[in-house]
Amino acid sequence: MSAPAAALTPVAAPAARGYWANVGRRLTRDPVSMACLGVLALILLAAVFAPYLGLADPYRGSMIRRLRPIGTEGYPLGTDELGRDMLSRLIHGGRLSLLIGILPVINAFVIGSLLGILAGYVGGRVNMAIMRTIDVFFAFPSVLLAIAISGALGAGIVNSLVSLTVVFVPPITRVAESVTTGVRNLDFVDAARASGAGALTVMRVHILGNVLGPIFVYATSLISVSMILASGLSFLGLGTKPPEPEWGLMLNTLRTAIYVNPWVAALPGAMIFAVSICFNLLSDGLRSAMDVRR
């Protein structure tokens, strides 16, 4: 019995797939996540390649062709209050809207992870100092904090990026700290220290790999909020300035047109909604795909 079994044994067992390969495989099996990924990819690609798609000039208006309804010849999605092509402005608008929505979360991911992992790994007074400072920012409702900083700094894309980054650093830091503290107390970290490894090596090999994933998933769940807030700041006139195409700002300038052409006025908001819900669903899908014990 043993001889045939040995003959059947391959030279080496197929290498087990890495953790992230497994996550990816599980994610591709989830139809909802894949659909969301598709929609997001489409919007992102269209936004990136907007200048090469042969669209109308998003800045050129026409006084006689204002607020045309959806389906007008030459203007598939109508025109805005200055007679500019809506389709072109919506696609071009994705460039700024996605940038100001996603960039703050990326910034906050970097800063918050650094602070949180530091606080969690070092502990003691460093932890106290970082986490108590973070607590102060938790004492503000997120929208109020964004408005306060943006309002004080004044309108502008950079100011809106700064204020949203400040809004998202505290929650990411808190998650990073709690995940790191949890991992740090596991025996394998002690085992690694027992091997004589220095703090930095232990951090690099054993802590980072186990905490960055959960922090990343949490950060992706914030993109949806960030998109809504970033466009919201522009909607209030605190983000992008006219005549730049940006969904929140477009929603604001079209607000007066709801009595004339409501559907066109509602279009930019539908774009924000679509992107926001796709990010939310994708984040949920990623979270369950990362659950190893299933």
Partner 1 sequence: MLLYILRRLLYVLPVALAVSLVCFLLVHIAPGDPLISVLPPDASQQLQEEMRKVYGFDRPLPVQFGIWIGRAVQGDLGSSIATGRTVASEVGRAVGNTFILAVAATLLGFVLGALFGFVAGYFRDSWIDKAATTLAIAGVSLPHYWLGMVLVIVFSVWLGVLPAVGAGPGGSTDWAWDWAHIRHLILPAVTMSVIPMGIVTRTIRALVGDILSQEFVDALRAKGLTDGGVFLHVVKNAAPTALAVMGVQLGYLLGGSILIETVFSWPGTGFLLNAAIFQRDLPLLQGTILVLALFFVGLNLAVDVVQTALDPRIKRG
Partner 2 sequence: MSGAEPLLSVAELTKHFPVLGGLFHRRVATVHAVDALSFELAKGETLGIVGESGCGKSTTARLTMRLLEPDAGRIALGGAEVGRELSLRALRRRVQMVFQDSYASLNPRLTVEDTIAFGPRVQGASEDAARAKAADLLARVGLDPMLFARRYPHELSGGQRQRVNIARALALEPEILILDEAVSALDKSVEAQVLNLLLDLKAQLCLTYIFISHDLNVVQYISDRVMVMYLGRMVEIGPVEAIYGGARHPYTRALLSAMPSMDPERRTQEAPLAGDPPNPIDPPSGCRFRTRCAMAETACERAVPAPTALGAGHAVACHMAAPGSGHSRAAT
Residue type at position 66: R
Neighbours of 18 (CB within 10 A): 9
CA distances from 245 to 86, 145, 191, 242 (A): 10, 25, 55, 7
Minimal distance in Å, beta carbon 26 to partner 2? 14
User: Which of partner 2, partner 1, none does 16 bind, CB closer than 5 to 8 A by kind?
Assistant: partner 2
Among 4, 154, 196, 198, binds partner 1 (CB under 8 A): 154
Site string for partner 1, 124-153 (x = CB under 8 A): -----------xxx-xxxxxx--xxx-xxx
Q: State the Cα angle at 277 between 170 and 245, rounded to 5°.
A: 85
Stretch 220-279 residues interacting with partner 1 (CB under 8 A): 224-225, 227-228, 231-232, 235-238, 248, 251, 255, 258-259, 262, 265-266, 268-270, 272-273, 276-277, 279
Q: Are 222 and 172 in contact (CB under 8 A)?
A: yes
Q: For residue 181, state whether it binds partner 1 (rule: CB under 8 A).
A: no
Least distance in Å: CB of 223 to partner 2? Answer: 25
- Check residue 178 for interaction with partner 1 (CB under 8 A): no
Q: Which residues bind partner 2 (CB under 8 A)?
A: 9, 11-13, 15-16, 19, 186-188, 190-197, 201, 205-206, 209-210, 292-293
**CA 243 to chain CA centroid, nearest Å:** 25
Three-state DSSP class for residue 81: coil
Q: How far is the CB of 147 from partner 1 (least distance, A)?
A: 6
Question: In whole angstroms, how far apart are CA 30 and each of 13, 41, 215, 222, 294?
Answer: 28, 16, 22, 21, 14
Q: Cα torsion for 49, 53, 58, 59, to the nearest 10°? A: 90
Interface residue list for partner 1 (CB under 8 A) = 135-137, 139-144, 147-149, 151-154, 224-225, 227-228, 231-232, 235-238, 248, 251, 255, 258-259, 262, 265-266, 268-270, 272-273, 276-277, 279-281, 284
